[in-house]
Amino acid sequence: MHVLAVIPARFAAQRFPGKPLAMLWGKPMLRHVWERARAASCIDTLVIATDDERIASAARGWGATVEMTSPACASGTDRVAEVARRHPDAAIVLNLQGDEPELDGEAVGRLIAVMRAEPGAAMGTLAHDEAPERMTSGDVVKVGVDSTGFATYFTRAMPAADAPPTDLEGRRQGAMLRHVGVYAFTREFLLTFASWPPGTMEQAERLEQLRAVERGVPIRVVTGVRPFAGIDTPEQLAVLEARGPRR
C-alpha cells in the first residue's frame, strides 16, 4: 500500500503572509515540517505542493520534491487532491500541514499503520490529550472520540466544564481531545471528498473535516503521545522561537 504524503504550502496566508518561509530556529518553518515528515516511518513519497515559486525554489534548495499546483485551489486538501490525481499508485494519501514545525513523526507512522490495518477506514486523523486550561481557546480545535476510536464531532467551542462530550445527536461519548491537523485518506475517498461542496457545519465551524462527518463517513482518530500545535500568527512563532525546540 503505497503511501503518498503531501505538505500543501501557500505564501499568501491571510493572518501570516509568507508563513511557510518564516524563519524558526534557524530554518524556514516549512523545512522543519519536511524534515520531520521524512523521519516518519512508512512514507514512500513525500511532496511539497505549492503555487508559489518562492516556496518551490526554497524547498528544492534543501532537497525536497516539489509539485506545482493551481492557484485556484480553495484549500490545502484541494491542493493535496490535485497531487494525488497524478499518483495513481498511491493507496493512502497524507495531508501534512506546513505550519506544524514540531510534527510528531511517530504518531504519523502509527496513523499510517492503522489505515493499513483497517481496510474499512477511509479517513483518519491525529489528536492528543491537552491541559484543560488550554482547551478553552477558540483557536484550539477539539474532537470528541467514542469508545471505538472514531470521531463523533469537531468543534472550536468549549463545552461547560461539567458537560460530557456528545455526538451530533447529543449522545454521551468518551474522550474530548485536542485535534491535530494531520489527515490520512484512502486515495479514492480523498478524490471523492474533494469533489463535495462545503457543508453547513463545515462553514459554521470553519473545519473542513466536518464535511465527512456531515455525510456519515467515520474518521478514525489515532492518539499521539507528544503534544504539538500549529502556528497561525507571527506572535505564536515568536513564542516558539523563544522557547526553543523540544528535544
- DSSP secondary structure of 193-226: HHHSPP-HHHHHHT-TTHHHHHTT--EEEEE-SS
Note whether residue 31 is domain-resident. yes
Indicate whether 149 belongs to any domain: no
Smallest CA-to-CA distance from 125 within 155, 90, 151 is with: 151
pLDDT 10s digits, 182-212: 999 999 999 999 999 999 999 999 999 999 9
Decide if 214 is inside a domain: yes
**Per-residue confidence (pLDDT) for residue 41, from 0 to 100:** 82
Q: How confident is the model at residue 173 (pLDDT cuts 50, 70, 90)?
A: low
Number of domains composing the chain: 1
Structural domain of 11 = 2-127+179-243
In angstroms, the first-to-last Cα distance of the chain is 32
* Helix (H), strand (E) at residue 60: helix 53-61
For residue 190, the domain's CATH number is: 3.90.550.10
Does residue 19 belong to any structural domain of this protein?
Answer: yes
Among 6, 58, 23, 30, residue whose Cα is nearest residue 230: 30
Residues 29/237, Cβ–Cβ less than 8 Å: yes
pLDDT band for 129, please (50, 70, 90 cuts): confident
Express as a percent the part of the chain with pLDDT over 90: 68
In a domain, 17, yes or no: yes
Q: In this structure, is residue 169 part of a structural domain?
A: no
Q: What is the DSSP string of 138-184?
A: TTS-EEEE-TTSBEEEEESS---TTPPPB-TT--B-SEEEEEEEEEE
